[in-house]
Amino acid sequence: MNKILSIAAALLVSASAAAQTLSPFGTVVKASDSNIQYVGRIVFDNPDSPLFTYPGVQIRSGFTGTSLKMIAKPHSGYFMAQIDNGEAFKVAFNSERDSIVSLATALPEGTHQVKLMYISEGYDMRPEFRGFIVDKDHSLAPAPTLPKRRIEFIGNSITCGYGVEATEASAPYQEETANHYYTYAARTARNLDAVHITVARSGIGVYRNYNGPKSGDKINMNTEYTHTLLYDNKYEWDFSHFVPQVVCINLGTNDTSTTGADYDLLLKGYKNLYKQVREHYPNAKIVFLCGSMMRGEEDLPMAKKAMDTAVADAHNAGDKEVYRFDFAPQTGDLGFGASWHPSYWQHEKMAGELTAYLRNLMKWW
C-alpha cells in the first residue's frame, strides 16, 4: 500500500527516523521529523522527501535558535514563508542550484515558528520538500496548533492564483506571477482562522476543460478528484486524512469557455462531482460558487442554472446541506491579473464576500 499521509497521519512519523546531521550551514533536520506538520494532498513514499502537486500545501514547525533554512528539490517552484507573526514572503526553487534557501537570520535567541505554503501549480515540477537547517546544536520544536475549522476548495485557475501578481490583463501566464497565497481561497481561510486544502488546476472544468470538445474532456475534475497528485492515478487520496466542515466548488468558467459547448453536459459534470464530494464527506456543507470571471448573456446564466439545478436536485433527494453563492462579477475597476484573471485586489474583494457568507453559514463568529 502506498504511504499517503496528511495532517494527523504526518504527526505520527517516528522521531527516530528523523536523524539530524551537521552541514556547513548548521544542523540538518529531515522532512520526517515528528515536529513537522503537513497539510494537503501529499505522498510520503519517501518520508524524507514528501511529494505534492497542488497549490496550498502547507508545512509548519517550530524551531530554536536564530536562523532557519529550508531544503527542497531544485525546480520545485515557489513557496510563501512566514516566520512567527511576520510578513509572509516568497522563496523560489527554480534552478539546479536552488536546493537550500534562507528563511530567517539574526532572530532573537529562543523558540520560533515557521509556516510554509506551496503557491505554484506543481504537476509538471513535482516538488519535494526535504527538511530544514537550524543553528548548530539546535533543533525543531512542536508546530503551532492547527485550527479546528477546515475548508476544502475545489477549483480552476482562479483558485490556483493564476496571474494574481500581474498588473496587466494582456500579460501572459508566468510562474512568477501566480500565487495561491493571495487568492480568495487562502485569504478566506485566514480570515476565518481555518486550515484549508486545495484541489485545483488552471484550465480544468467539471466536464470540459478550457477550449475542450463539446463532448467534454476525458480528464477533468471529476476524473482527478480522488487522486493525491494531479495527473497521476498511482496514488488514491485517503479522504479520512482531512475532513472539512465545508467544501467550496468554484468551477464552470472553463466549461463555458469559447463557443459551441453543449452545456447539458455541464450539468451532468456538476452532479457527478457533487456525488463524489458527498460520498467522501457525508457531514460537510457543500457550496457551489459562481466565479467572478463568468459573464455575458449566455455563459453566466447557463452556469448559474446548472449549479442551481444540481443544488435543487440534491435538496429534492433529501440533502439540504448543499448551497449556492455568487461572487460579484469583476468589472475592471480593481484591475486585472494576467489573461484577464482576477487581480490581487479582486481576490481581496472576493475573499471579503466569501468570508461573510461562510461566517454566517458555518456560524464561525
Amino acid at 40: G
**Which DSSP helix (H) or strand (E) runs through 352?**
helix 344-362
**Cα 135 to the chain's mean position, in Å?**
31
**Strand 4-5, strand 140-141: pairing:** unpaired
pLDDT tens column, 61-93: 999 999 999 999 999 999 999 999 999 999 999
Among 16-20, 24-28, 259-263, whose mean pLDDT is lowest? 16-20
Which residue, 244, 147, 247, 145, is CA-closest to 195?
Answer: 147
How far apart CA 106 and CA 127 sit, in angstroms, is 29
Check residue 13 and report its DSSP letter: S
Do 9 and 89 touch, CB atoms closer than 8 A?
A: no
When pLDDT is averaged across residues 243-249 and rounded to a whole number, the result is 98
List domains and CATH numbers for the chain: 4-141 (2.60.120.260), 149-362 (3.40.50.1110)
Q: Cell match 537570520: residue?
A: 105
Cα angle: 270, vertex 354, 219; to 5 degrees: 30
Given a cut of 70, is residue 11 above it in pLDDT?
Answer: no
